[in-house]
Amino acid sequence: MDANLEQEWAGKPGRLAALLYGLGGLAFLLPLGVFALTGFQTRYWADDYCFSAALKTDGFWQAQVSFYQSTSDRYAVLPLIGISEWFGEHSIQILPGLVIVLFLAAVTWLLWELHTALQLSIPRGMAFLLAGMGVFFVLLQAPNRFQVLYWRSGLLTYLMPLVTISALAAWILYGRRAYRTKRLWPYLTAIFLFAFLSAGFSETSTVMQAAGLFLGLAALLWRRQWAGRGTALWLAFAALAGTLLGIAVLLLSPSVWLRQAHFAAPPGAFALALTSLRYGLDFALDTFKTQPLPVAVSLAGPALAAFTLPRGGRMKISLAQAGLAGVGVVLLGLLLVVSAIVPSVFAQSAYPEGRALIVPRFVLTGTTMAVGWIAGRVAAAYLLTGRASRPLRLLAALALGLLFLYPLRSAYLNLAEVQTSQARAVAWDERHASIQAAIAAGDQRLHVAGMDSVAGLMELGPDPDMWVNHCAAGFYGIESIQTDE
């Protein structure tokens, strides 16, 4: 029995291993499906009215110009909102689930390209498992999940760039083995434009994108003996050029300096670096202190997955090499976390808001999982020898299988969030229908039922001149709107 099991597991990746990874991927898909179901209850909140009102009032192209000049420098957000509204108002309900699918696809692609580039021995099934695990923990531990997933303005500003950054990194790694150096110009142009688009969502993600590209270029310049290095350098330079152009466009927007007038002057370079480093360390330490179970699972999951790799996927690695890799991953993660915090410190001299912290959360989750993976590879290299390898591998597989109960538990607990969101959506729909009926009857100054604010987002209030009311009036095409209480 043991011999047959050993032979079965030792395939590439082996049917039992593939089954384990596939079941794990499905287990992490379930809570993501619950998040998407909750997202289907998304409606227009706060700034959503403003974006849609601008598009309805000025038209698609003029709205881009007006918003860039007076409201927001984030030039990639409003175009996507405009495109989504070509499919009707209900498209806002599809966006959370769609972005989750795109996020999962981009991270899976990135893991597969990292496997190919760095010879990590990650089977396709395991890449899907680790991607599902990573996306799940990023969303589960989001400091304000409502604002980054169930609110369109926050979703496209802070979560969508994580999709594009993951895809950009995967594209560069893919290109270094798929594109010919003599025919690079079309691909360089495409990556330049994609990086420019990715840089237009928010300053938080854009600075991190630039930092990641600088670090990637440094690694490519240092590692001279690497297949496809020349192509990768050209692609990374193109991506960096697109990113830097995006930063320039962000900074040149008059709206940036209009907003900056409401805050204190930016700190000096030394104070900026020191405060950002302190906030970055605080963010990481607070995560470990307040969310020990998710951190432990996100660390143990990749470790057990690496430990259960089929025999052909294992390789010897010295403790010194593993230690150096681990320190390198942690330092890289810290630099990227700090880079994502720099914009908030520069603009507001303050700790980032919850929705902006989804960007460093993405980095911290990836760093934790990478450290777990390295630990699992080291443990497998030294422990899976001789007769002891069979029972140890079985125990690790059993432990990994038990770990899959965690996302199932999370899916069950988050069903309550679906019910709460459904009740809020029903109330919004009823008010929306009453507003449309009043408009059809010729009313232009409306008094409507009030709703409670949610997740720090302002709702309509009794003052018709309040900014949310003003945007909602533009959204509905009426003179004014206010609540009765």
Q: Which residues of 303-325 are buried (b: 16+ CB within 10 A; e: fewer)?
A: bbbbbbbbbebbeeeeeeebeeb
Residue range 49-93, pLDDT digits in tens: 999 999 998 899 998 998 888 888 899 999 999 999 898 888 999
- In a 3-state reduction of DSSP, which class is residue 118? helix
Torsion over CA: 106, 108, 111, 112 (sign): negative
Give SS3 for 482.
strand
Residue 274: which of 341, 362, 218, 197 has the closest Cα?
Answer: 341
Cβ burial, residue 454 (10 Å; 0-12/13-18/19+):
middle
Q: DSSP assignment of 153-221, as one string?
A: HHIIIIIHHHHHHHHHHHHHHHHHHHS-GGG-HHHHHHHHHHHHHHTTS-HHHHHHHHHHHHHHHHHHH
The SS3 assignment for 483 reads strand
DSSP state of 101: H
pLDDT (tens, 9 = 90+) of the chain, 485 residues, equals 334 434 444 444 457 777 888 899 999 999 999 999 999 999 999 999 999 999 998 899 998 998 888 888 899 999 999 999 898 888 999 999 999 999 999 999 999 998 888 777 777 888 899 999 999 999 999 999 999 999 999 999 999 999 999 999 999 999 888 877 778 888 999 999 999 999 999 999 999 999 999 999 998 888 777 777 788 899 999 999 999 999 999 999 887 777 766 677 778 889 999 999 999 999 999 999 999 999 999 999 999 998 887 654 455 666 777 788 889 999 999 999 999 999 999 888 889 999 999 999 999 999 999 999 999 888 888 887 766 677 888 888 899 999 999 999 999 999 988 888 999 999 999 999 999 999 999 989 988 888 888 888 889 999 989 999 999 999 999 999 988 86
List all residues 6 or more positions away from 437 whose beta carbon is below 8 Å from its beta carbon.
none
268: left (phi over 0), alpha (psi -120 to 50) or beta: beta
- The DSSP code for 131 is H
- Is residue 209 within 8 Å of residue 268, measured between CB atoms? no
Q: Can you say whether residue 446 is alpha, beta or left, with left for phi > 0 and alpha for psi between -120 and 50 degrees? A: beta
Alpha-carbon distance of 409 to 411, in angstroms, equals 5
Looking at residue 249, what DSSP letter applies?
H
Using alpha carbons only, give the angle 181, 187, 113 rounded to the nearest 5 degrees.
85
Report pLDDT digits (tens) over 340-384. Answer: 999 999 888 889 999 999 999 999 999 999 999 999 888 888 887
**Of 377, 252, 221, 390, which Cα lies nearest the Cα of 302?**
377
CA angle 123, 124, 126 (to 5 degrees): 65
